[in-house]
């Protein structure tokens, strides 16, 4: 795959991230695996660093984050950091590269199939939770730690889940919080999570730096353009298009 193709791929994914706030890891990792022929472990490692930078840049451009409830972020980190460690150790002790590639592709496919309905049915999930309270503060904290652990494992194995799935579950656990605050919590957790998981893959030699730089050279302008187009497409259609696309890619990966 030529250098220009990497730049264009980064620009397209960056544009979607700028418009919707999600989809970076969900789209870039399958693209690197299916179209570029990159080994799944290297694709995940490269995409984690790519996702952290693009999400940070997109957050600065959007400036829509509300006040961060750091207590919730810390409860999530209490679960996600052990999750990252467990997933990376498991990958290290897998057998052949073929077995590792199979595990990552399967994990990626499953994560995409979970992410798609989380995006498609987010308003329905929130409405259901508002009618059926899930529990008190203690139960919410326990479930927040569990959510963090699951996200840590998912992100380390597939680079998918930190944004879309994390946001969907936060809506279910804290339905009374304003959406702006939930977005701020999700981003405040997702950026360090992807950086930490990406650093773990980097130390394993799984980050392709030249490819990463080419992707970023396209994605940063793409995000800038996407943020200026945000809001011009109805949110319902954004969810429908992105959710359907992730569903199809997830089936293809499995």
Lowest-pLDDT choice from 48-62, 83-97, 201-215: 48-62
Structure confidence at residue 20 (pLDDT): 64
**Residues whose CB is less than 8 angstroms from the CB of residue 102 and which lie 6 or more positions away in sequence, other chains included:** none
Lowest-pLDDT choice from 15-19, 22-26, 47-51: 22-26
Asked if 147 and 173 count as a contact pair (C-beta separation under 8 A), the reply is: yes
Structure confidence at residue 75 (pLDDT): 93
Structure confidence at residue 154 (pLDDT): 84
Asked if 148 and 80 count as a contact pair (C-beta separation under 8 A), the reply is: yes
CA distance 136 to 114: 26
Residue 178 scores a pLDDT above 70: yes
Structure token pair of residue 112? 């995409």
Single pTM value for the model: 0.77
Grade residue 135 by pLDDT with cuts at 50, 70 and 90: low
CA distance 101 to 119: 27
Structure confidence at residue 112 (pLDDT): 79
Grade residue 166 by pLDDT with cuts at 50, 70 and 90: confident
CA distance 248 to 241: 11
Structure confidence at residue 120 (pLDDT): 78
Grade residue 195 by pLDDT with cuts at 50, 70 and 90: confident
Residue 98: CB atoms within 10 A of its CB come to: 10
Structure confidence at residue 66 (pLDDT): 60
Residue the block writes with tokens 């600065």: 60
Residue 250 scores a pLDDT above 60: yes
CA distance 163 to 139: 22
CA distance 158 to 67: 29
For 85, 94, 153, the CA distances from 243, given in Å and listed in that order, are 29, 31, 22
Q: Which residue has the higher pLDDT, 246 or 200?
A: 200
Residue the block writes with tokens 């945000």: 230
Grade residue 77 by pLDDT with cuts at 50, 70 and 90: very high
Coil, helix or strand for 96? coil
Structure token pair of residue 97? 């590269």
Residue 48 scores a pLDDT above 80: yes
Q: Among residues of the chain, what percentage have pLDDT more than 70?
A: 84
State the average pLDDT for the chain.
79
Measured in whole angstroms, the distance separating CA 117 from the mean position of its chain's CA atoms is 14
């Amino acid at each position: 795959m030529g250098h220009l193709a990497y730049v264009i791929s980064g620009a397209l994914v960056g544009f979607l991230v700028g418009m919707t706030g999600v989809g970076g890891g969900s789209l870039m990792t399958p693209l690197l695996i299916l179209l570029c022929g990159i080994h799944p472990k290297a694709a995940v490692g490269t995409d984690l660093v790519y996702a952290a930078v693009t999400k940070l840049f997109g957050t600065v451009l959007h400036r829509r984050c509300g006040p961060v409830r750091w207590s919730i972020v810390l409860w999530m980190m209490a679960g996600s950091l052990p999750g990252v460690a467990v997933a990376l150790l498991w990958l290290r002790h897998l057998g052949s590269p073929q077995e590792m590639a199979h595990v990552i592709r399967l994990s990626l496919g499953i994560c995409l199939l979970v992410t798609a309905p989380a995006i498609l049915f987010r308003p329905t999930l929130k409405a259901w939770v508002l009618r059926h309270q899930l529990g008190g503060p203690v139960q919410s904290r326990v479930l927040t730690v569990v959510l963090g652990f699951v996200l840590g494992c998912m992100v380390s194995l597939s680079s998918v889940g930190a944004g879309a799935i994390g946001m969907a579950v936060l809506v279910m656990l804290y339905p009374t919080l304003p959406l702006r605050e939930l977005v701020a919590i999700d981003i405040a957790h997702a950026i360090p999570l992807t950086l930490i998981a990406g650093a773990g893959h980097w130390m394993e030699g799984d980050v392709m730096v030249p490819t990463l730089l080419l992707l970023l050279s396209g994605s940063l302008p793409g995000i800038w353009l996407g943020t200026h187009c945000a809001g011009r497409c109805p949110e319902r259609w954004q969810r429908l298009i992105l959710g359907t696309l992730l569903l199809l890619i997830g089936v293809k990966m499995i």
